Amino acid sequence: MFELTEEQQELRKLARKVARDQYAPLTREMDANRTHLPPAERRKIADLGLLALPLPEEYGGGGRPLIDALIVQEEFAKANPIAAWPIFEASAGPARVIHLFGTEAQKQKFLPPVAAGEKTIAICISEPDAGSAATDVTTRARIEGDEVVINGSKRWCSGAGVSEQYLVYVRFSDTPGGRGMGAVVVDMESPGLTFGPQEELMGHRGIGSADMFFDNVRVPVENVIIPEGGFNKLFTAFSIERLGNSTMCLALAQEALDRTARYVQERRQFGKEIIEFQTIQASLADMVIQVDAARLLIYRAAEAAGTGAPEQLDASIAKCFANEMVKKVTDLAIQLHGGYGYSEEYEIARMHRDAVGWAIAGGTPTMQRTRIASEYLGRRFDQRA
């Protein structure tokens, strides 16, 4: 059992109040209209000290452990997942790659704007022919003097066309697999970078997603965060992102559970509250079990991570379970709400739509199972053999 400290409990109360008062009333409209969170709102969250808790204080962050950031992220995501997105990116996304592996000059350059809410850095990995097989990336980067020249395309970049900067996974040479790969930061306004139309996705509305095209995009060589051969570092940092993903799942499931618990005690059929029926009790109990188990797995991994990255095994277990849990829980919530669960008015359908997206993003449960077996056995499995 993980007991939050008094300070963490106060942090949760603050995050809950801000999220419920300011962003919960906007959730349905933002989802329906695919509205992005305005930069001004991002700066407000930063001013409250809630945006970038794990980033070091010298770069404008809170200097606090990962679990504190996940506590805040959960409260925001329960109220409004779109409002939680910049917290996710600053606390568990590409900014953490720079925090852990960037040079001092790179940290000074890229982290303060993130911590202040002035910029969000999104991650760009997938390509038309490189999804789960991330090391099949073909977007090329070559170093010419004091510049890096990038050519290629990216797909399924969450935040594409909306975020101000991107951590782009690139191939620096013909060396196969991850050994030839690295990562470089690219500004949204860089000449040669263009975006396709915004995708109309089933869920994750308001976050932004679009194809990205790099045509001789030139950025300073100082923007190379991970040089060729550093793919394992990217994978280490990706474990943090997986806990951020898991926390978004936890938030959706917890909110669906809370709303369902209220509904089954208010809704009456056959002359009594429907919670009086044993089948309803059993379904609600299953939801409670699933949510509680996911929380324990996430907290275990985050607590062990401290201000760094969690163990890859712990992160993959948490993500795999949370991804499947949130789909089950939101599906049960729809069933227990009956026809109302199928109505956008009650927002359970929105939660289920988002749940499916989180189970795809950041490495599917199928890929996590391969990772879990690999980490548990201490062996590498070549999927191409």
Q: Which residues contact 199 (CB under 8 A, 6 or more apart)?
A: 209, 210
385 confidence band (pLDDT: 50, 70, 90): low
> What whole-number percentage of the chain has pLDDT above 90?
89
What is the distance between the alpha carbons of residues 288 and 341, in angstroms, rounded to a whole number? 18
Find the mean pLDDT for residues 299-321.
95
* Strand-strand pairing, 121-124 and 165-171: parallel
pTM above 0.85, yes or no: yes
Cβ atoms 240, 191 nearer than 8 A: no
Angle between helix 365-377 and helix 312-337 axes, rounded to 10 deg: 150
Cβ atoms 179, 133 nearer than 8 A: no
Torsion of CA 372, 373, 375, 380, to 10 degrees: -130
Question: How large is the greatest C-alpha to C-alpha distance in the chain, in angstroms?
Answer: 79
- Give the model's pLDDT for residue 271: 95
Domains of the chain: 6-115 (1.10.540.10), 121-229 (2.40.110.10), 232-377 (1.20.140.10)
As given in the structure block, the two tokens for residue 221 are 């060589």
What is the distance between the alpha carbons of residues 73 and 322, in angstroms, rounded to a whole number? 15
pLDDT tens digit sequence for 315-341: 999 999 999 999 999 999 999 999 999
Q: Where are the beta strands (DSSP E) in the chain?
A: 121-124, 140-144, 147-158, 165-171, 181-187, 193-195, 209-220, 224-226, 268-269, 272-273
2 confidence band (pLDDT: 50, 70, 90): confident
Q: Which among 54-58, 173-177, 364-368 has the top mean pLDDT?
A: 54-58
Tokens 């989180």 belong to 358
User: What letters, b where the CB count within 10 A reaches 16 and e where it falls short, cover 155-184?
Assistant: bbbbbbbbbbbbbbbbbbeeeeebebbbbb
What is the distance between the alpha carbons of residues 126 and 361, in angstroms, rounded to a whole number? 10
Q: What are phi and psi of 91, to 5 degrees?
A: -95, -30
What is the distance between the alpha carbons of residues 383 and 28, in angstroms, rounded to a whole number? 42
Q: What are phi and psi of 269, to 5 degrees?
A: -145, 145
Cβ atoms 107, 99 nearer than 8 A: yes
- Give the model's pLDDT for residue 229: 87
pLDDT tens digit sequence for 338-380: 999 999 999 999 999 999 999 999 889 999 999 999 999 999 8
Asked if residue 232 has pLDDT above 90, the reply is: no
- Give the model's pLDDT for residue 131: 75
Asked if residue 82 has pLDDT above 80, the reply is: yes
Helical H segments across 267-308, by residue range: 278-305
* Strand-strand pairing, 181-187 and 193-195: unpaired
What is the distance between the alpha carbons of residues 266 and 273, in angstroms, rounded to a whole number? 6
Cβ atoms 358, 249 nearer than 8 A: yes
- Give the model's pLDDT for residue 236: 82
Q: Which residues pair with 147 in a beta bridge?
A: 144, 220
Asked if residue 207 has pLDDT above 70, the reply is: yes
Angle between helix 278-305 and helix 312-337 axes, rounded to 10 deg: 160
Asked if residue 1 has pLDDT above 60, the reply is: no
CA proximity to 27, closest of 259, 360, 346: 346
Say how many C-beta atoms besides its own lie within 10 A of residue 215's C-beta: 12
Q: Which residues contact 277 (CB under 8 A, 6 or more apart)?
A: none
